[in-house]
A = this chain, B = another copy of it.
Amino acid sequence: MASRTPSPTAARAARNPAPDRAGAAAGERPRRRLSVDERREQLIAVALELFSVRPPEEVSIDDIAAAAGASRPLVYHYFPGKQAIYEESLRRAGRELAGRFEEPPEGPLSERLYRVMGRYLDFVQSHGPGFAALLRGGSVAASAGTSAVIDEVRRAAHDQILSHLAIPSPSPGLRLTVRAWIANAEITSLEWLAERSVPLEELQLHLVQEFVAALTLTAAREPALAAELAAFFADERPDGPTGRLVRDLAGLFAVPGITEAVTALATAPSPSSDGPSPQATD
């Protein structure tokens, strides 16, 4: 079960630095206010908090030491360098994010996804600059290690969604739909972080509705999915994301011209070619 609130570890650790600067600076083991494991965890938590609010190139070992109330040599006692702390704190963040995708398989699917997206967007909001730096790539700290963390989180999201769809052998097309929608969620979150032009709740609703649309399009191409789609719609509720989408689309199709044009396309005599007309229009 996912925790529904962000883990307070990082914040707690940053507020309660252990005062062992002197001992560490002299090259000794840190005073036993924190055990070795605890100290390591504290450094990771402090680093994660710093990397969440600033891109990695703007966080130094000195910043991490200062936020942890530790000395530079102490930090180097635990980690060979900044990259190692960065990657370790990223792995923790990735694990926490992946945990937020977990959702009991109960209730209409779009409402489950809506709850998951709420937790995902909370994470995006609270780890904004670090999340952006990580996904935008091109950071000096990008590496095969950071890439592996991103891939791991994407795979967790993909697997969770497929498990909720409960389709025994998902087709390559359906898997691709899920992966493309995850990319959509990432890019949409990044844009939102940069501009914050709409309330987060709107984004949450739109992302879920885009998933419903993508699923419908996939079923339109793959007749084997039609029965699953029928079961999906039958389970949805009028006041959920799908119900609201259906009514928005119904409103759009009531606009003069749209239904007529679409009906003309739907009822045209079946064309003989099996591809779009190839002739150039220029």
Using a CB–CB cutoff of 8 Å, the interface residues on chain A facing chain B are 104, 106-108, 110-112, 114-115, 136-140, 142-148, 150, 172-173, 176, 179-180, 183-184, 186-188, 191, 195, 197-198, 201, 205-206, 209-210, 213-214, 216-217, 219-221, 223, 226-227, 229-231, 233-234, 236-252, 255-258, 261-262, 264-266, 268-271, 273, 275-277, 280-282
Task: Select A242's contact among B173, B176, B183, B265, beta carbons within 8 Å.
Answer: B265
From known contacts A184-B183, A233-B258, infer whether A252 and B271 are also in contact, taking CB-CB under 8 Å. no
* Closest Cβ neighbor of A106 among chain B residues: B281
Cβ contacts A to B, 26 pairs, < 8 Å: A106-B281, A137-B142, A138-B146, A140-B143, A142-B142, A173-B198, A176-B188, A183-B184, A183-B187, A201-B275, A205-B276, A210-B214, A210-B217, A213-B214, A217-B245, A219-B252, A220-B252, A221-B248, A229-B258, A230-B261, A234-B257, A234-B261, A237-B265, A238-B265, A244-B276, A247-B266
Residue A277 contacts which of B191, B213, B237, B276 (CB distance < 8 angstroms)? Answer: B237
CA distance A148 to B271 in the complex (A): 44
Q: How many copies of this kind of chain does the complex include?
A: 2
User: Which residue of chain B has its CB nearest to the CB of A245?
Assistant: B220
Residues of chain B within 8 A of A172, CB atoms compared? 195, 197-198
Q: B233 near A265 (CB under 8 angstroms)?
A: yes
Q: Tell which of A214, A256, A281 has the most Cβ of chain B within 10 Å.
A: A281
Q: Which of A137, A148, A281 has the most CB of B within 10 A?
A: A137
Known contacts being A143-B138, A148-B138, is A249 close to B261, with CB within 8 Å?
Answer: no
Could you tell me if A265 and B277 are in contact, using CB atoms closer than 8 angstroms?
A: no
